[in-house]
């Protein structure tokens, strides 16, 4: 008798500004799953936040052609802990499906920030990825930096702003003077560099803060660290596998959303053009942060390396880009782990 296939939900799309990127990542994951061992239960979330069971061809996902009436059934997560699954809301009635696991491939807010993870954990559906608390912590830049500092890692100086008015403006200007220019203005809990501005002069500061408030109700002013960004892919929970360190080479500006997906004025070097000793120090620092922030299964830890060789924490991406050309799989590929093997290890965990 054949072993029964495990039902693994792949969540894609999402109510996020990174909706399109999620479609690309999810398609790559789906097409690299071992379908002899796993049954992929495809759950698409549209930009309004409505969940569907998608029963069509995965090839329609990356181009955003999956939302058809014939191939989509409205679905909700059941809070029934004995079912640990989903409810299909069919015209003929409700159908139950138990799940063996769920892998959210959702980037940014409403997907990477602990909200979806909380729903899955409430239903006791085994979660493949960072848990609710870790996801929420890593999305909150100030909290993540505070915990990384407690782990003995250097972090940029920063200030939080929760509103902008005539009284607050003087305080904001004072923060700018203390941090020095250039500095960064960022939404506290937004992903993929949305709403971030590199501010070179005092006159630009209030407009940058106003722009960041379009993405979140709290804004962070952050010291700019001289040097360049390096990243570290980590896979595992108990035993950790660490990918080669990569390096972002910029010719102008900073690594914003457009640069991440076009590389118009930047290059990514894997491995980074640094000494083996420094790469090892970066990997050890990344693992310390990964453990300290409670990460599990997989995440990408981003750091800064200064001209003096100092390492500063930037952020943790708990669901990094997962296309075959994304940074995370390429760092692991450099140490001999293929894309398909990454997915197999995650599902086996």
**Structure confidence by residue, pLDDT tens digits, 290-337:** 999 999 999 999 999 999 999 999 999 999 999 878 999 999 999 999
* Pair (177, 300) in one structural domain: no
What is the model's pTM?
0.91
* Pair (148, 164) in one structural domain: no
Whether the predicted pLDDT of 12 surpasses 60: yes
Residue 133 lies in a domain: no
**Contact indicator for 270, 334 with CB cutoff of 8 Å:** yes
* Pair (63, 112) in one structural domain: yes
- Spell 184-223 as b/e; 16+ CB within 10 A means b: bbbbbbbbbbbbbbebeeeebbbebbeebbebbebbbbbb
* Pair (240, 316) in one structural domain: yes
CA torsion, points 123, 127, 130, 134, in degrees to nearest 10?
Answer: 20
* Pair (147, 203) in one structural domain: no
Residue 87 lies in a domain: yes
The CATH number that applies at residue 81 is: 3.40.50.20
Domain residue limits at 254: 138-154+227-348
Measured between alpha carbons, how far is residue 226 from residues 62, 169, 183, 289 in Å?
Answer: 37, 27, 11, 21
pLDDT digits (tens, 9 = 90+) for 67-126: 998 999 999 999 999 999 999 999 899 999 999 999 999 998 889 999 999 999 999 999
The CATH number that applies at residue 241 is: 3.30.470.20
Q: Domain count of the chain?
A: 3
* Pair (295, 147) in one structural domain: yes
Residue 1 lies in a domain: no
Residue 170 lies in a domain: yes
Whether the predicted pLDDT of 349 surpasses 90: no
Taking the CA atoms of 144, 145, 146 and 148 in sequence, report the sign of the dihedral they define.
Answer: positive
* H and E: helices and strands count for the chain: 10, 17
Last residue of a domain, one of 199, 219, 239: 219
Measured between alpha carbons, how far is residue 178 from residues 6, 21, 149, 181, 183 in Å?
Answer: 55, 37, 20, 9, 10
pLDDT digits (tens, 9 = 90+) for 145-189: 999 999 999 999 999 998 777 678 889 999 999 999 999 999 998
| End-to-end CA separation in angstroms for the chain | 24
* Pair (241, 331) in one structural domain: yes
């Amino acid at each position: 008798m054949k072993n029964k296939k495990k039902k693994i939900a792949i969540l894609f799309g999402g109510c996020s500004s990174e909706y399109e990127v999620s479609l690309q990542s999810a398609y790559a994951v789906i097409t690299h799953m071992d379908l002899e061992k796993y049954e992929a239960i495809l759950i698409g979330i549209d930009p309004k936040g409505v969940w569907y069971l998608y029963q069509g061809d995965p090839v329609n996902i990356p181009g955003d052609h999956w939302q058809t009436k014939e191939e989509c059934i409205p679905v909700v997560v059941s809070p029934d802990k004995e079912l640990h699954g989903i409810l299909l809301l069919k015209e003929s009635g409700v159908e139950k499906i138990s799940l063996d696991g769920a892998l959210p491939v959702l980037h940014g807010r409403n997907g990477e920030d602990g909200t979806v993870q909380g729903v899955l954990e409430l239903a006791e559906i085994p979660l493949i990825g960072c848990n609710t608390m870790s996801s929420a912590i890593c999305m909150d830049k100030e909290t993540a930096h505070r915990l990384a500092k407690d782990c003995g890692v250097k972090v940029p100086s920063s200030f939080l702003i929760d509103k902008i008015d005539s009284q607050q403006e003087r305080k904001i200007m004072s923060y700018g003077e203390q941090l020095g220019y250039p500095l960064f203005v960022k939404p506290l809990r937004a992903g993929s560099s949305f709403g971030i501005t590199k501010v070179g002069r005092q006159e630009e500061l209030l407009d940058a803060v106003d722009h960041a408030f379009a993405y979140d109700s709290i804004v962070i002013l952050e010291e700019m660290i001289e040097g360049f960004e390096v990243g570290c892919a980590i896979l595992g929970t108990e035993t950790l596998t660490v990918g080669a360190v990569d390096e972002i080479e910029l010719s102008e500006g900073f690594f914003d959303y457009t640069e991440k997906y076009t590389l118009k004025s930047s290059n990514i070097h894997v491995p980074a053009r640094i000494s083996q000793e420094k790469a090892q120090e970066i990997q050890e620092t990344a693992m310390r942060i990964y453990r300290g922030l409670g990460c599990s299964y997989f995440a990408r830890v981003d750091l800064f390396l200064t001209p003096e060789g100092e390492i500063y924490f930037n952020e943790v991406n708990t669901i990094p880009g997962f296309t075959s050309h994304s940074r995370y799989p390429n760092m692991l590929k450099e140490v001999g782990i293929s894309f398909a093997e990454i997915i197999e290890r995650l599902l086996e965990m």
